[in-house]
Amino acid sequence: MNLARHWISSELTMPDCEQVAGLEHFCSQDCSPEQVSQIYREAKKSVEDTQAWEPFGESMCTFTIVASPPRIPDPRPSLERQVRCAIAEEPVEAGYSHPAEAILAKAVINQPREVIEWLVHLLTEERNYGLVGDILACFGRAVEKSPPWWAYNIAENALLSSSVAVRDSAAQTLELWGTSAALRIPKKHDESVGWLRNYIEEVIELLETA
């Protein structure tokens, strides 16, 4: 959730708040309005401490902390909504392409950061594991031809999930990519479910010959 970052960026009239040392650290979390205010104060202090305040002049010193942040459009909810709607309308099924794949393929190109943040959020926060497995499968298919380097990190995290559905989806995704770069992920995984362990062993054999 980037609301705090966008809000602070807007309030401080900074073109890119990530350029300010220390600010990103405080802003990369989901926040209530009260937390946003707290983050704002901490960020301001951090900015002052790092001498980054000066280039932005008086405008940064005259802001007012408001009770709740303004609603600034964030591309991620739109992506999330599109994918969730696509999956709600049509189940993800092995062997058949799904409309969510095209949505994710486009997003990986146009807004990769949002895709990463959303997938990480899904893997850590979402409790509808079947849905996470479906989204992961669509993501894997979306980048099938040329998985970006960070996609392997997503798959690695997915393989650590407590959910069999998510782990199975991750293993299938690694088989789908079929690249030697994926090999280290299943190799260091210790699978507890018998049938999935057998499958992962098959995937390892396959990747070793990739």
Binding site for other proteins (CB under 8 A): 91, 93-97, 129-130, 141, 163-165, 168, 172, 175-176, 178, 193, 195-196, 199, 202-203, 206
> What is the smallest separation between the CB atom of 183 and other proteins, expressed in angstroms?
14
Would you say 34 or 93 has its CB closer to other proteins?
93
**Residue with Cβ nearer other proteins (2 or 163):** 163
Residue 47 CB, nearest distance to other proteins (Å)? 45
CA dihedral over 192, 205, 140, 198, signed as positive or negative: negative
> Which tokens hold the place of 198?
């057998």
Say how many residues make up the chain: 210
Nearest to 175 by CA among 153, 150, 144: 144
Nearer to other proteins, 40 or 129 (CB): 129
Minimum CB separation from other proteins for residue 208, in Å? 12
| Pairwise CA distance, residues 160 & 38, whole Å | 33
Dump strand ranges (E) for 10-157. none
- Residue placing its CB nearer to other proteins in the complex, 165 or 181: 165
Query: From CA 134, how far away is CA 81, in angstroms rounded?
Result: 14
139-84-160 Cα angle (round to 5): 50
CB of 141 to other proteins, least distance (A): 7
Q: Among residues 109, 135, 110, which one has the least CA distance to residue 121?
A: 135
Closest CB to other proteins among residues 8, 200: 200
Least distance CB 85 / other proteins (angstroms):
19
